[in-house]
Amino acid sequence: MTNLLTVVGLVTVVVAVSALARRFGMLSPILLLLTGIVLSFVPGVPRVDLDPHLVLTWILPPLLYVAAVNTSVPAFRFNLRPILLLAVGLVVFTALGVGYALHLVLPAVPLAATVALGAVVAPPDAVSASAIARRVRLPRRHVAILEGESLINDATALLIFGVATSAATGRAVSAGEITGNALLASLGGVAVGALGAVVFGALHRRISDPLLDNAVSLIVPFVVYATGTSIHASGVVAVVVTGLALGHRYPVLMSAASRLQMEAFWRMVSFLLEGAVFVLVGLQLRSTLEQLRTPVGTVVLAAVVVVLTVIVARFVWMYPATYLTRLVPKLRERGVAPRPNVPTLLAWAGMRGVVTLATALALPATLAHGAAYPRGLFVFLAFATIVATLLLQGLTLPAVARMLRIEPDDPKDDALAEAAVQTSASRAARERLEKEIAGQEDELPADVVERLRDKIDVRANRAWERLGSRRRETPTEAYTRLRAAMLEAERGVFRQARDEGKIPEEVLREAQRDMDLEESLLERRP
């Protein structure tokens, strides 16, 4: 019962704080984090200890999966070079940089242990990147790079973490073993992910019931992740590969009803999980402080060194990765190098999240031969890195974007591209309609064919209307407003008829469903 009340309370906090953040235009991840920190010190609030196994096995896979499903495969492929440079190269660079810097502060602690902590704090968080970058309306390509980086950098960090902790606990790790583990983690993860895409893609193609489709999609990330880790491959890579492949093919794998229901389902799951993640991180502050046994001066110095190294390392890596790689002729041919404001913005968008804390909690209790080391300090340093990057970088990211004159994507460009494609789509729809009715003109009701032709014109005209003046209501907006009012009046009549006993509840629900579907298709004004 206590666990159930804790979960209910957590969900309630997520919903209430998120609603408050939207009401006042605040960044909900940061407000949720601060709420968790405050609640950790409130008397009577139950202590919630974050289980690293819970995070890495039950929270991370679905969040990675839904992020991968919603990622554009063409955009991911186009930005693969910067994504890999950040997700692999930068993670290794940061882990080593933090390891050596912290070893200078704590010379009694083995370098392997400090590098393990470096791997813990190295990868920016997928949830933080998506939640904040989209909230501040960064350009689409910048968001694609940040999300692509955060999808696979955990795999790199966990590999470094495993090697470093093995070395710290006294087990010799050879270069060949490291190479073999890296190949198994990456190539094995890709293979498992590809297999998962084939298997679950075939299931989705054969299932016609939206509820079953949803149920299958729910188990995909867990099955793929568990399969990958069971053969010592990267479960993270496996989930990302499966999510990218299935998300790219969803339009041909599932019915429209399944896609609509699945989108609503995963939006709710992501909303609750992402919110819970930030609250849970905040709730760990009190227990983290209780585990500290290190002098305050050393704690402050170590925290400053780790946070500064994490932030500076990203800047040091970003500019050479952006410009030096373009010395290669084939890469230079792909386009003009971006202005310095672009790598500067990407360098500042390095917020850490729950995976950092969960990995820190997975640190071994002792090092080789039972030697003690400041594990409590390491956990606190991970927590401090999360809070510092979220508050410092997350809160200032909108101002930094404005200062660097980073312009969001122009909605008129999107509208123009959509209108051009819609013209071709409408032409294809008209040709298909004429082909389908050929030879059946006398059998089909004339008004049905005419309504279908009108529908083609309406969709084509609606796309071009977005390019027009915004000073007055467009025909589509007027139709939407008036039809929504008409549907509300119809609902009132049906509800009154139900209350008066003229129709049963089942008839009301069926009619309500039809009206809800129609209203959901109406295009809302921004």
**432 and 368 both lie in a single domain:** no
Select from 446, 466, 486 the last residue of a domain: 466
- Among residues 451, 466, 481, which one ends one of the domains? 466
The DSSP output letter for 274 is: H
Contacts of 292 (CB under 8 A, 6+ apart): 299, 376, 377, 380
In a domain, 357, yes or no: yes
382 in any annotated domain: no
- DSSP notation for 76-87: HHHTHHHHHIII
Shared domain for 173 and 104, answered yes or no, is yes
User: What residue spans of 106-207 are helical by DSSP H?
Assistant: 111-121, 126-135, 140-168, 175-206
pLDDT at 402 (0 to 100): 87
243 and 363 inside one domain: yes
Q: What's the CA gap between 280 and 433, in Å, rounded? A: 54
DSSP 393: I
What SS3 class is residue 404? Answer: coil
Statement to judge: residues 420 and 512 lie in one domain = no
| CATH assignment at residue 79 | 1.20.1530
pLDDT of residue 365: 79
Q: Are residues 473 and 451 in the same domain?
A: no
Q: Are residues 160 and 247 in the same domain?
A: yes
For residue 41, is it within any domain?
Answer: no
pLDDT score for 413:
75
Instruction: Give the domain range for residue 435.
Output: 411-466
> What residues of the chain score a pLDDT lower than 70?
1-2, 126-136, 172-173, 329-336, 368-372, 441-442, 463, 465-472, 523-526
d(CA 282, CA 40): 7
| Angle CA 367–162–313, to nearest 5 | 100
Is residue 242 assigned to a domain? yes
According to the model, what pLDDT value does residue 325 have?
A: 76
Residue 163 lies in a domain: yes
**How many Cα atoms occupy the beta-carbon half-sphere of 287 within 13 Å?**
17
How high is the pLDDT of residue 468?
61
Angle CA(251)–CA(253)–CA(256) in degrees, nearest 5? 55
For residues 173 and 161, is the Cβ–Cβ distance under 8 A?
Answer: no
The per-residue pLDDT for 471 is 55
On whether both 311 and 162 belong to a single domain, the answer is: yes
- Structural domain includes residue 18: no
Q: Residue 34 domain-assigned?
A: no
Report in angstroms the alpha-carbon separations of 463 from 97, 127, 414, 421, 477.
Answer: 51, 33, 10, 9, 12
Does residue 490 share a domain with residue 462?
no
Position 526 scores a pLDDT of 41
Residue 57 domain-assigned (yes or no): yes
Q: Which of 450, 466, 482 is where one domain is finished?
A: 466
Q: Are residues 372 and 517 in the same domain?
A: no
Task: Let me know whether 103 and 126 are in one domain.
Answer: yes
486 shares its domain with 462 = no
Domain total in the chain: 3
- Please indicate, yes or no, whether residues 182 and 330 belong to a single structural domain of this protein: yes
Residue with tokens 């299931």: 203
Instruction: Record the tokens describing residue 10, joined without a space.
Output: 């957590």
